[in-house]
Copies of this chain bind each other. A is one copy, B any other.
Amino acid sequence: MTEMVIFGTGNVATHLFQRFYDSKNVRVKQIFNHSPESLEPFRSKTETITSIEDLADADIYLLALKDDVIEKVASGIKKQDRLVVHTSGAASINILEKFPHRGVFYPLQTFSKNLDLIFPEIPFCLEAAKEEDLKILENLAGEISKKHYHISSEQRKKLHLAAVFVCNFVNHLYSIGEDICSKNEVPFEVLQPLIQETSKKILNSSPFKVQTGPAIREDQSTIETHLDLLKNGDQKEIYRLLTKAIQTSHGKKL
């Protein structure tokens, strides 16, 4: 049985707590947060602590904290020979450098507290300073998910950047679609099957290879009609830039 203490009570901490709580081979011994209120939902399930002085011994200290507090909180951990990992997409493994057994346990997913995620599908990006610890993290990921990858800090930084494009920026394009619909009294649901199909299409195909639309067709008359229709300055600029980017990346003349 692996004994674990989880640091943090945010979305990632909450999801990981629940999964490990339900798992067979991991026992969440404590959950830590400075604020007693945030610990309320966990009180019936495990020991909650607000002071790092009360930290119990455990095999793994899992820091599911915001990037800018990881180092500070970690500095309070006295037992330096335990495996200490953070769950951040952007922070390097080396912000834990005072721990010889340090690692990263980064679930690449968009977490909101209420959404039920299909946890076994979430890819865990693992990194450890020592080979033996990587094995431990693999087993840990295996308890709650079917997928894990060895990803270096350098690669993880790039993945986190890529995630901004395919998640945050994609969502903003959805919201431009929503805005255009609402301004024209068309229900946004009309676009849903197209949106869902567009994301499903790339499950089996390279997005580069399945690019469609006026930009790649070099359909200048449609492009100009669209630019004329767009009154919002940012939307017009986005249309122009993405059209250009599609054409450039596909080697079209401009």
B-binding residues in A (CB < 8 A): 67, 90, 108-110, 112, 115, 117-118, 121-123, 125, 147, 149, 151, 154-155, 157-159, 161-181, 183-203, 206-208, 210-216, 222, 225-226, 229-230, 234-235, 237-239, 241-242, 244-246, 248-249
Q: Which of chain B's residues have a CB closer than 8 A to the CB of A188?
A: 206
Partner of A167, one of B166, B194, B222, B230: B194
Whether B108 lies near A194 (C-beta < 8 A) is yes
User: From A178, which residue of chain B is reached at the shortest CB distance?
Assistant: B207
Name the residue among A125, A185, A190 with the largest chain B CB count within 10 angstroms: A190
A94 to chain B, nearest CB (A): 15
Partner of A172, one of B164, B176, B203, B211: B211
Partner of A185, one of B155, B168, B177, B194: B155
Whether A202 lies near B197 (C-beta < 8 A) is no
Whether A234 lies near B248 (C-beta < 8 A) is yes
Whether B174 lies near A242 (C-beta < 8 A) is no
Q: Which of chain B's residues have a CB closer than 8 A to the CB of A248?
A: 234
Assuming the A-B contacts A187-B149, A193-B121, are A170 and B168 also in contact, with contact meaning beta carbons closer than 8 angstroms in the complex? Answer: no
Q: Which of chain B's residues have a CB closer than 8 A to the CB of A109?
A: 193-194, 197
Q: Which of chain B's residues have a CB closer than 8 A to the CB of A185?
A: 155
